[in-house]
Structure 1
Amino acid sequence: MLFQWGMSRQKKRMDVKQEGPDHSGEASDVPQEPLSAELAVNIDIIRQKTGESNDVVIRRFALGQEWQIKAAIIFVDGLVDEKNVYEFVLTPLLQASFPLALEEKERFQWIEKKLAAVGGVKHISDWRKLFFELFSGATVMLIDGVPFAISASTKGGEYRSIEEPQTQIAVRGPREGFTESLRTNTAMIRRRIRNPNLWLETMQIGAVTQTDVAIMYIKGIANDEIVKEVRARLRRIDIDGVLESGYIEQLIEDQTFTTFPTTYHTERPDIVAANLLEGRVAVFVEGTPFVLVAPALFIQFFQAVEDYYARFDISTALRFLRVLIFFISLVAPAIYIAATTFHQEMIPTQLVIAIAAQREAVPFPGFVEALVMEVTFEILREAGVRLPRAVGQAVSIVGALVIGQAAVEAGFVSSAMVIVVSITAIASFATPSFAIAISARLIRFGLMFLAAMFGFYGIMMGILVMTIHLCSLRSFGVPYMSPLAPFIPTNMGDTLFRLPTWMFRERPRLINQKNIVRQSGDQKPEPPAPSRQEKGGGS
């Protein structure tokens, strides 16, 4: 019966190839039918289902030294550690003396003892489970006369080594970042939080790719309702493939039609560990170094990791600077357009005369001038990102200088506009999070249009609408602007400014509602009490 099923599937595939390509994802169509007791039939079905792929290795052998029980191991080259396969799976089975008088259940127990050095031994009874284990890096063993299979965990292959993060560089702090291996990423968190309450749940998402996705949280600190919501949103996903955490992010976020990110992503283990200690949930995806953290707050995107490694006064000054940088990158071109078009009386006399002299030869209004320069700079920035690193930096720097100077000399734009656009670009680069920086880049064009239409009134109207929109957003049920709106005084110590570490006594209230206390007692550093000799003024 199974042999007929395999042949019919092969015939169906040949028919489909003749008619045209099939994008339905045949890997998800593997039925949950039991395995055959005949080794030859099982191997034929595996070959037919995998299309005779060369990387699917089938090694036939005989159990024990009697050479009577036929068996085979199947693994995918590149997904397993071949040294473990041959040294701990194949060699013990070839060298052992297989007792023929054992029953089927006892045979499995005997084989499990021989594979004890490998670990992760599982019994497989249907085809769907077999192919899942096979393409997850396990070695599958088939025995003639037994309608079951045994899989042993031999996952291996080549992975990128742990390196310094490229997108979130810190002056002070750890130098290791996540990799594309899910187990390596979770292990880096385990090294930082050595607590049995750090729970990990793994699931497979993607009908074709079967990508491993894991959620991690600290039981007793994380809000159970948030954990339940994250789990429910992940299980609702029905898609053929997940290739990066961005797929997951777009399918579980609260609001789609917004430029502001409602899920935080990072490639630094220390940031994930800190967020887990605050009660958040982390989502790991196999094949990407970016880990999602939920829920996310607006103020969170202005916090850098070294804020908590440096003194509080330095961190507070830098955090104020980042907020100012974000505001400059958002409204600087719009303010220039509004001031030069409608509100010249607000500019100092000498400056307005200098700007007027520069713009005398410019044939375009301020809005068109700013729009051309912003679009040109965005093109240069995108070219610098897409080109190879050495070439991209040269193109972005030289291109900006040459085009800016040539545009001023040709009379297309004024020197003041080049200065404004340059300051805006530098400010957008200085924003800690790329996700919030690109949001400002998009909103900037809308504010420029409002400034060209209504002046400063249009800018204020745009900022007001943006603020109302921010206050309406939620991230997994948590208000996006908290603790600013709603205002929570006890959590204001880590927002626009940062209080000393010994004053962080409570976790964020709207994220965590049952385990609020972060540290107990008064831990304020104090100098030692003066000695008796110091009190007496001498010996």
Structure 2
Amino acid sequence: MIKEKLNNTADLSIRPLQIGGAQKYEGVLLYIENLVDSQVIRDNIISPLLRIRNSSELDHQNLMNSLAYHHIQSPSVEISQSIEMAVNGIVRGKTLVMVGGFDRIVIAETTQWQQRSVEQSSRQRSPGGPMIGLSEQLKVNLNLIRSFIQSPNLVVESKQIGRFSKTDLSIVYLKHKVDQKALEEVRTRLDTLDVEYVLESRVVEDALEGRKKTIFPLVFLTEMPDVVAAALYEGRIAVLVNGTPMASIVPSLFVQYMAQPNEYYTKSGKLTNRFILFFCYFISVLLPGIYVAVAYFHENWFPAKFAKKYFTHSDTILSFFFEMCILLLILYLLILVSFRIQTDMIIVASLVGTMVVSTTAVDAKLIHPLSLIIVGIAFLTNLLFVTGGMANAAFTLRFFFLILGSFFGLTAMGIGFILLIIYMSRLRSVGVPYLAPIIPFRPQEFKDVFYRGDLKKLINSPHKYPHDDKE
């Protein structure tokens, strides 16, 4: 029956053996050879069972219990009568011990997954903090988090997602600090997730974000275990999926993307970094639209000589609006290319990109030099928010405000900005307002919003998140 459930796969190993002395029992081990540690099977299962020479060592009434709890030396064993449970165990690298004449099976832990060692994070770095990043193995990631939070209050809830192939998932939080309403919302959304399989955490992130889709990330992503630990201390919840070297943290707030990990490891910048990041985000979103709006509607704000040279008498082929659109699309294309091509081809892609977006295009009268500078500033400031996923929202908003500025001017951009704030204030991350603690206004939480407050006060002060019934 088990062979049929596994579709007679070629890597299923069946190892017969005899157990006992004068009264021998015919037994068999089943495992998938590519998933198990053969040394563990020999030392912890085969050798102890073959050493049984005297039948008095066995409890014949409860033979499977006797084998599981007195002889098999695997760190984790369980006894089951379910074929489904046996098949689920064997595909996870466990070994089945079966004995003729008994209707129960011993499932012993013998898994050996192939995995990379813990390495330095390549996508997120902190000059003054830890350099290690999460890996693809869930057990390794939980080990890293526990190394930062050595407390009995650290709770790990395990789930399995997928009908066709089950994937392990863990919900991690601190019992005495977690926001209980957010935790219940996370449990509810994950329990209602019904998919055939999970290859990466994106489907889990969609479930955590809820039915209301938005361009803003409602789940904060990180591969730094110290960032996960800090979020847990603040009452947030981390969701880790086996096979994904990222942790999904909720609730996710807009102000969270303005706080960089290195702020908490260095003394400098605690009063200026946040303001600079807020300013850079608005520059990244609004600057192209402001530039085109000034060129089309407000060139009289500048001296006539300057306005004539840069706005009214531009001798480029394309209009300012199309220049900005093409430049933004080319830079976005370069980002996509850098992730999709071979690493040894990145130099070639960079060379071609430099030829397309450079002074060559300016000399050919294709692009205005000021347009190139504006797009370059917007692009560089956008790179500050790649961590966590906020950069994608900025890319969409940049085109939205570019269209408003091109056709309706700065007044329309101002109205659009107000509508954007109203829209963001209505977003919720597992029930918590996205703009909290700014909207709703909670001044007691401002000690870590626009500036990094005293670390001792931050550590000792509790974090509370507002909730309402809107979702």
Fold agreement, TM-score > 0.5 = yes
Note the alpha carbon deviations across 1:212-234, whole angstroms, 9 max, x for none.
Answer: 11101111211222212211111
Aligned to 2:380: 426
CA distance in 1, matches of 2:21, 2:376: 77
Q: Judge conservation of contact 1:295–1:511 (CA < 8 Å) in 2.
A: no
Residue matched to 1:226: 182
In structure 2, distance between residues paired with 1:133 and 1:315: 51
- Find the counterpart in structure 2 of residue 331 from structure 1: 286
Which residue of the partner structure matches residue 166 of structure 1? 122
In the alignment, is residue 412 of structure 1 matched against residue 366 of structure 2?
yes
- Structure 1 residue 445: Cα displacement: 0.8
Please, which of 87, 96, 99 is the counterpart of residue 140 of structure 1? 96
What is the match of residue 27 of structure 1? none
Determine if the alignment matches structure 1 residue 244 to structure 2 residue 244.
Answer: no
Distance apart, 1:85 and its partner CA: 1.1
Other-structure match for 2:34: 78
Higher mean displacement: 145-154 or 252-261: 252-261
Q: Take 1:145 and 1:101, find their aligned partners in 2: how far apart are those partners?
A: 18
Give the alignment partner of residue 118 of structure 1, picking from 74, 85, 105. Answer: 74
1:90 Cα deviation after fit: 1.3
SS at match of 1:204: strand
Map Cα deviations across residues 63-99 of structure 1 (whole Å, 9 max, x no partner). Answer: 2455942111111223222211122111221232252
Q: In the alignment, what sits opposite 1:449?
A: 403
On the 8 A contact 1:380/1:399 being kept in 2, the answer is yes
Query: Residues 506-539 of structure 1: CA distance to partner in whole angstroms, max 9, x if unpaired?
Result: 2322169xxxxxxxxxxxxxxxxxxxxxxxxxxx
The offset of 1:102, in angstroms, is 5.3
Deviation, 1:305, is: 0.8
2:149 maps to a residue whose letter is: I
Q: Does 1:385 align with 2:339?
A: yes
Q: Secondary structure at the match of 2:465?
A: coil
Equivalent residue letter for 2:215: T
Q: Give secondary structure in 2 for the equivalent of 1:499.
A: coil
The answer for the alignment partner of 2:170 in structure 1 is: 214
Distance 1:72 1:257 in 2: 52
Relative to structure 1, the CA distance from residue 102 to residue 111 in structure 2 (aligned partners, 3 Å threshold; closer, same or farther) is: closer
Which of 373, 377, 394 is the matching residue for 2:327? 373
Does 347-356 or 143-152 show the bigger shift? 347-356
User: Where do residues 19-418 of structure 1 align in structure 2 (5 Å cutoff)?
Assistant: 45-64=1-20, 68-97=24-53, 99=55, 104-254=60-210, 256-311=212-267, 313-356=268-311, 359-360=314-315, 362-396=316-350, 398-418=352-372
Contact 2:432 / 2:465 at 8 angstroms: preserved in 1? Answer: yes
The more displaced of 499-508 and 94-103 is: 94-103
Alpha-carbon distance between aligned partners in 2 of 1:348 and 1:53, rounded to the nearest angstrom:
79
CA shift, 1:48, in A, is: 2.0
Counterpart-to-counterpart distance in 1, 2:11 and 2:196: 23
Aligned to 1:260, the other structure's residue is in SS state: coil
Q: Secondary structure at the match of 2:378?
A: helix
Q: Distance in 1 between matches of 2:143 and 2:236?
A: 18
Deviation at 1:47, TM superposition (A): 1.9
Alpha-carbon shift at residue 398 of structure 1 (Å): 4.4
Q: Aligned Cα RMSD in Å? A: 2.1
CA distance in 2, matches of 1:315, 1:53: 59
Whichever residue aligns with residue 353 of structure 1, its letter is K
Query: C-alpha displacement at 1:298, in angstroms?
Result: 0.5
Aligned partners of 2:179 and 2:465 also within 8 Å: no
Question: Contact 1:249/1:292 (CA < 8 Å) preserved in 2?
Answer: yes
Q: Structure 2, unaligned stretches of length 5 or more?
A: none
CA deviation map 1:124-162 (0-9, x unaligned): 101111111111221111111111100111121211110
**Equivalent position SS for 1:359:** coil
Q: Deviation at 1:307? A: 1.1
SS, match of residue 457 in structure 1: helix
**Contact 1:75/1:134 (8 A) holds in 2:** yes
Give 3-state SS (helix, strand or coil) of 2:448's partner.
coil
1:487 corresponds in structure 2 to 441
Cα gap change, 1:201 to 1:351, in 2 (>3 Å): same
Residues of 1 paired with 2:351 and 2:333: CA distance?
12
TM-score (norm 2): 0.94
Bigger mean CA deviation after superposition, 436-445 or 89-98: 89-98
Contact kept? 2:219, 2:250, Cα under 8 Å: yes
| 8 Å CA contact 2:153, 2:176 repeated in 1 | yes
Task: Name the CA shift for 1:98/1:120 in 2 (closer, same or farther; >3 Å).
Answer: farther
Structure 1, 461-470 or 94-103: larger mean CA deviation: 94-103
In the alignment, which residue of structure 2 is the partner of 1:525?
A: none
Give the letter for the 2:287 counterpart: A
Decide whether aligned partners of structure 1 residues 71 and 173 sit closer, same or farther in structure 2, where only a CA change above 3 A counts. same
Structure 1 residue 300 displacement after superposition: 0.3
CA distance in 2, matches of 1:92, 1:176: 39
Contact kept, 8 Å, 1:335 with 1:451, in 2: the verdict is yes
- Higher mean alpha-carbon deviation, 335-344 vs 321-330, is at 321-330
Partner of 1:8: none
Question: Residue type matched to 1:228 in 2?
Answer: E
- SS of structure 1 residue aligned to 2:314: helix
1:123 shift after superposition? 0.4
The structural deviation recorded for 1:331 is 1.2
Write the distance in 2 (CA, Å) between the matches of 1:392 and 1:114: 59
Worse-superposed segment, 52-61 or 183-192 = 52-61
- 3-state secondary structure, aligned to 2:112: coil
Deviations 1:93-127 (A, max 9, x none): 12322528955543123312454531211001011
Q: Deviations over 1:481-505 (max 9, x none)?
A: 0111111111101112111213324
- TM-score normalised to structure 1 length: 0.82
Separation in 2 of the partners of 1:160 and 1:234? 28
The question of whether the paired residues in 1 share the 8 Å contact of 2:284 and 2:379 is answered with: yes
Q: Is residue 65–residue 94 contact of structure 1 (8 Å, CA) maintained in 2?
A: no
